[in-house]
Amino acid sequence: MNEQKNIASQPQGTKVGGKIAIEPGQKITPMMEQFIEIKNANSDCLLFYRMGDFYELFFEDAVHAAQALGITLTKRGKHQGQDIPMCGVPIHAADGYLDRLIALGFKVAVCEQTEDPAEAKKRGSKSVVRREVVRLVTPGTLTEDSLLDAASSNYLTAIARVKTGEQEEALYGLSWLELSTGEFGVQQVDHLRLNAELARLDPREIILSDNILQESDIRALNEEVRGALSPVPRAFFDGSTAADRLKDYFKVSTLDGFGQFERVELMAASAVLAYVEKTQLGARPPLSPPVREISARTVSIDAATRTNLELIRTLSGEKRGSLLSTIDKTLTGGGSRLLAARLASPLVELGEIIARQDSVSWFLEQTGLREDLSDAIKIAPDMPRSLSRLSLGRGGPRDLLAIRGGFASSITLLAQLGQSVEPEQLPAELLRSYEALSALPQNLGTLLGAALDDEVPLLARDGGFVRSGYDPSLDELRSLRDESRRVIASLQADYADLTGIKSIKVKHNNVLGYFVEVTANNADKLMSVPLNETFIHRQTLANAVRFTTTELADLEAKIASAAGKALAIEQDIFAHLEREVLAASDMIKNASHALAVLDVSIALALLAEEQNYCRPVIDESLAFHVEGGRHPVVEQALMSDGADAFVANDCNLSPQNGETNGKIWLMTGPNMAGKSTFLRQNALIAILAQMGSFVPASNAHIGLIDRLFSRVGAADDLARGRSTFMVEMVETAAILNQAGERSLVILDEIGRGTATFDGLSIAWATIENLHDVNKSRSLFATHYHELTVLHEKLPRLVNATVKVKEWKGDVVFLHEIIPGAADRSYGIQVAKLAGLPPAVVGRAKAVLEHLEEGDRQSNAKTMIDDLPLFHATAHVMSNEEEEPDELRVALQDVNPDDLSPRQAHEMLYQLKGMLQ
């Protein structure tokens, strides 16, 4: 089965059958000739070829699709002496199959019948119905609700590249587009930031020029970038025509009104527009003008860090259990997407962070209003996605109804806000939302309310969506159509009286139109004199015979005329409403964003109230002081399981005593004690703080962080030939090469994947580099207790450990972070808790005792003066004498053969008492 591939593992993307050859003189049916012609024009796609009520696939397309979808592979005819593979999916269920194919990285060309079969027959009995590809479906260009996740953005991203300077260093242009909402952004990055920005966007599809696919910097993109790769001709990225393409698309004479763009940014933006026009067959959705993103505006978080911290997804790829799923209390799809975008892109702009905090604080105080607004927000439809479908010609009456619903929610929200507070008293972010909602053209909302019925069909061609009373001529035609139904019923009764056949029926189908049907036993009566002059034979079936009459034919013409004219009027009304909505697209998109902002602000206020989060102090210092910090995900998991309350801990990495840089905490302590949880929770608190949220702590003071690095956990990367230790070193190298004094660095167990002294030496050197070169605020967890002596040499290094207690040979984790250093890892006790056989645990204790009595007796403090790097002697570990086993002592002198039944019974009670 084909699987979705990414840049690193599959540069060519998911392949399909390619072009199909036809040899000169080869006999081929007209239908298959048409299929091959269309397939060869779309050779990089699976071709969904419409045949009646099915989309059929042939040749290698059918093989791929049958395997991917788990459907039956059959055959139809022969080509070059070989059976032609074939499979198909029903039209009514096509979206579900499309979803699965797109998730696997395929592209699909949808080929529809664009001609009525009756018209094709007029050209000859063997004429093929005209068919055309109406759209190309790719992972990054989806618009259907059934194929999209309402809570997630679906980005199409383009990567452009130019070489600069004497060393020919690469600069990259990124452009991303959300076709279903119209969001459009561009950015210039260097090779160090490229990976982090792609991880932030998490695109579903990435396009780039086919001539740079095999170059090392492209192939080295991190494996965690999941987007399906779509190589395109280099002409898509032509820098000489890029600006003209953007000006033509947005119908402007200059791009100055949108901002100043670098050449590589224009190349990427032009490429993404060209790809949209190609896949939408020339249609131009109403995109927002390109917004230039400044790299320094958001916190740089690379793919490995996002994975380790489980921001959007867990390590297993699930949303449930991630930070996003834990904090998401939004009520709408737009709100969920905005929250996810803010979480993925924490800010470095102090003013904007504070503005977001102000909105959350305001709603935290406005409890009653918050509940009222929530009632209006939760019924607001997803207007941007409906707007996108309308602009691409894929919209229907339900999309217009969604726009109407959005207008209604906006009016309600404006009224509720206006009754509670003067607009000028709203926080800045909420005031902008209020103004955007106020700018909606209310006459359009009134028009949609008057024109659309409350229950509408999915497709405009089905009719029946215009409200009665909106158009008098339409009402008249509908009346005629509906009255005709009663006339048909009356006519059937007349025929029953005329013929004496009570079971006679007047029916309708798309082939014969209206007809009279009787059972086979009654057919002779209608074909005999005098009834044969009234009833004209049409069709004989196994159990029924069908007739028509002159009167019925005349009535059918009138009904068809009325129904057709009514449907034509409804189509005109739909087109008019669609034009009016698209003319107001900018205002609708702004109002939709305003609704999302309100949704997110209310959701974060509710989160802060329910979980007792505090508003952090954010400034431009190098402070990092958290009091009573908690891990947001673990805390809620403990609450839901009814377990003990989460143990809160402080963390202070702020400069102290006149220092100019933040602290490094060296964390020691046993496995399972909570070191990794503590490390992660402080990283998550920093992210929440800079996205504008309240944080799980009693107090917090965060100096702006520009880069966040986290290397927690161990995993190999076999697909790229990397061992666990190699992955660890690659990620550590990235941190040491990029982190600065404003960075926050989280490192866990550096050097554990290799030999003891090699690993210890690497960890030692890493700490010194963080202290002297990077000067970052850092949390560094380790089991190398020898490293704790570094605090005597490195003034900003602080030792901290996790408090534990021992009880009868077992270890009790208290999950409390305290100053100091651990002298033991308690690994054997943890192994015992994990269920290792008693014999293995006992043998491990004996081996440990022997090792501790041997060559690990040297004092590690001598390392500071003798060899500060790459040499270490082990720290002396305490060796507690194991407590005697009370049960063993009690049974040692007992002879079971000498015990009476009463004595044995009493001894059992004694032994049971020892266990309690």
Task: Report how many domains make up the chain.
Answer: 6
Q: Are 404 and 444 in contact (CB under 8 A)?
A: no
- The mean per-residue pLDDT over the stretch 253-278 comes to 92
Residue 8 lies in a domain: no
- How many residues in the chain? 916
| Residue type for position 562 | A
380 labelled ligand-binding: no
Domain boundary among 575, 596, 628: 575
| Residue 352, CA atoms < 13 Å, CB-side half-sphere | 11
Q: Which tokens in the block code for residue 575?
A: 């087109």
Residue 881 lies in a domain: no
Domain boundary among 520, 548, 575: 575
Comparing CA positions, the residue from 815, 792, 562, 808 lying closest to residue 677 is: 815
Residues pairing with 175 in the sheet: 158, 186
Helix (H) or strand (E) holding 647: none
Buried b (16+ CB within 10 A) or exposed e, 849-870: eeeeeeeeeeebeebeeeeeee
284-293, 761-770, 807-816, 858-867: segment of lowest average pLDDT: 858-867
Please tell me the distance from the alpha carbon of residue 740 to that of residue 734, in angstroms, as a whole number.
12
Please enumerate in sequence order all residues whose Cβ is within 8 A of that of 118, keeping only pairs 6 or more positions apart, or say none. Answer: none
- Percentage of the chain beyond pLDDT 90 is 48
pLDDT at 878: 36
The stretches of 584-722 forming alpha helices (DSSP H) are 585-611, 632-641, 675-690
Give how far the C-alpha of residue 626 lies from the chain's centroid of Cα atoms, to the nearest Å.
Answer: 31
Instruction: Looking at the structure, tell me whether residues 340 and 460 fall in a common domain.
Output: yes
505 labelled ligand-binding: no
Instruction: Looking at the structure, tell me whether residues 119 and 253 fall in a common domain.
Output: no
pLDDT at 852: 65
Instruction: Looking at the structure, tell me whether residues 699 and 753 fall in a common domain.
Output: yes
pLDDT at 303: 84
1 labelled ligand-binding: no
Mean pLDDT of the chain: 85
pLDDT at 825: 67
| Residue type for position 341 | A
- The mean per-residue pLDDT over the stretch 815-836 comes to 77
Residue 315 lies in a domain: no
Comparing CA positions, the residue from 181, 290, 182 lying closest to residue 246 is: 290
Q: Could you tell me whether strands 228-232 and 205-209 are parallel, antiparallel, or unpaired per DSSP bridges? A: parallel
**CB atoms closer than 10 angstroms to residue 344:** 21
Q: Decide if pLDDT at 616 tops 90.
A: yes
Q: Are 429 and 355 in contact (CB under 8 A)?
A: yes
Q: Could you tell me whether strands 300-301 and 205-209 are parallel, antiparallel, or unpaired per DSSP bridges? A: unpaired
Q: Decide if pLDDT at 387 tops 90.
A: yes
Residue 560 lies in a domain: yes
58-67, 73-82, 240-249, 253-262: segment of lowest average pLDDT: 73-82
Instruction: Looking at the structure, tell me whether residues 701 and 764 fall in a common domain.
Output: yes
Q: Which tokens in the block code for residue 339?
A: 């929250």
Model confidence band, residue 165 (pLDDT cutoffs 50, 70, 90): low
Q: Decide if pLDDT at 422 tops 80.
A: yes
- Percentage of the chain beyond pLDDT 70 is 88
Indicate which CATH number applies to the domain containing 439: 1.10.1420.10
Residue 307 lies in a domain: no
**CB atoms closer than 10 angstroms to residue 292:** 15
Instruction: Looking at the structure, tell me whether residues 794 and 696 fall in a common domain.
Output: yes
Please tell me the distance from the alpha carbon of residue 94 to that of residue 88, in angstroms, as a whole number.
10
pLDDT digit string, tens, across residues 123-132: 877 788 999 9
Tell whether the torsion through CA atoms of 259, 349, 351 and 355 is positive or negative.
positive
Q: Decide if pLDDT at 233 tops 80.
A: yes
**CB atoms closer than 10 angstroms to residue 72:** 9
Model confidence band, residue 11 (pLDDT cutoffs 50, 70, 90): very low
463-477, 783-797, 869-883: segment of lowest average pLDDT: 869-883
Q: Are 849 and 816 in contact (CB under 8 A)?
A: no
Domain boundary among 137, 159, 176: 137
Domain that holds residue 231: 148-297
Please enumerate in sequence order all residues whose Cβ is within 8 A of that of 693, keeping only pairs 6 or more positions apart, or say none. Answer: 327, 356, 360, 604, 607, 608, 613
CA distances from 891 to 11, 734, 900 (A): 70, 60, 16
386 labelled ligand-binding: no
Q: Could you tell me whether strands 744-748 and 707-711 are parallel, antiparallel, or unpaired per DSSP bridges? A: parallel
Placement of tokens 């024109």 in the chain: 451
Q: Decide if pLDDT at 8 tops 80.
A: no
pLDDT digit string, tens, across residues 842-896: 777 777 776 666 544 344 444 445 444 433 333 333 344 445 566 677 777 777 7
270 labelled ligand-binding: no
Please tell me the distance from the alpha carbon of residue 616 to that of residue 707, in angstroms, as a whole number.
19
Q: Which tokens in the block code for residue 351?
A: 């003013």
Instruction: Looking at the structure, tell me whether residues 721 and 816 fall in a common domain.
Output: yes
239 labelled ligand-binding: no
Instruction: Looking at the structure, tell me whether residues 571 and 589 fall in a common domain.
Output: no
Instruction: Looking at the structure, tell me whether residues 771 and 648 fall in a common domain.
Output: yes
Output the furthest CA–CA distance in the chain (Å, rounded): 125
31 labelled ligand-binding: no
Indicate which CATH number applies to the domain containing 721: 3.40.50.300
Indicate which CATH number applies to the domain containing 242: 3.30.420.110
State residue 450 phi and psi, 5-degree precision.
-75, -35
For the entire predicted model, the pTM comes to 0.80
Comparing CA positions, the residue from 163, 259, 272 lying closest to residue 207 is: 272
Please enumerate in sequence order all residues whose Cβ is within 8 A of that of 845, keeping only pairs 6 or more positions apart, or say none. Answer: 828, 882
Sheet containing 744-748: order of strands: 300-301, 707-711, 744-748, 777-781, 664-668, 797-807, 810-819
| Residue 471, CA atoms < 13 Å, CB-side half-sphere | 22
Residues pairing with 744 in the sheet: 708, 777
State residue 659 phi and psi, 5-degree precision.
-70, 150
pLDDT at 809: 61
671 labelled ligand-binding: yes
Indicate which CATH number applies to the domain containing 81: 3.40.1170.10
Q: Is 677 helix (H, G, I), strand (E, B) or coil?
A: helix
Instruction: Looking at the structure, tell me whether residues 682 and 773 fall in a common domain.
Output: yes
Give how far the C-alpha of residue 753 lies from the chain's centroid of Cα atoms, to the nearest Å.
Answer: 33
| Residue 526, CA atoms < 13 Å, CB-side half-sphere | 29
Please tell me the distance from the alpha carbon of residue 204 to that of residue 779, in angstroms, as a whole number.
34
pLDDT at 720: 53
Q: Are 433 and 355 in contact (CB under 8 A)?
A: no
- The mean per-residue pLDDT over the stretch 317-337 comes to 93
Helix (H) or strand (E) holding 621: none
Instruction: Looking at the structure, tell me whether residues 632 and 759 fall in a common domain.
Output: yes
Model confidence band, residue 145 (pLDDT cutoffs 50, 70, 90): confident
Q: Is 224 helix (H, G, I), strand (E, B) or coil?
A: coil
CA distances from 435 to 101, 255, 365, 418 (A): 42, 26, 22, 12
- The mean per-residue pLDDT over the stretch 322-347 comes to 95
Residue 873 lies in a domain: no
| Residue type for position 844 | A
CA angle, residues 177, 182, 186, in degrees to nearest 5 = 35
Please tell me the distance from the alpha carbon of residue 2 to that of residue 17, in angstroms, as a whole number.
12
Q: Could you tell me whether strands 649-652 and 744-748 are parallel, antiparallel, or unpaired per DSSP bridges? A: unpaired
pLDDT at 455: 92
Please tell me the distance from the alpha carbon of residue 842 to that of residue 848, in angstroms, as a whole number.
10
Instruction: Looking at the structure, tell me whether residues 450 and 593 fall in a common domain.
Output: yes
Instruction: Looking at the structure, tell me whether residues 416 and 288 fall in a common domain.
Output: no
Residue 493 lies in a domain: yes
**CB atoms closer than 10 angstroms to residue 60:** 16
Residue 557 lies in a domain: yes
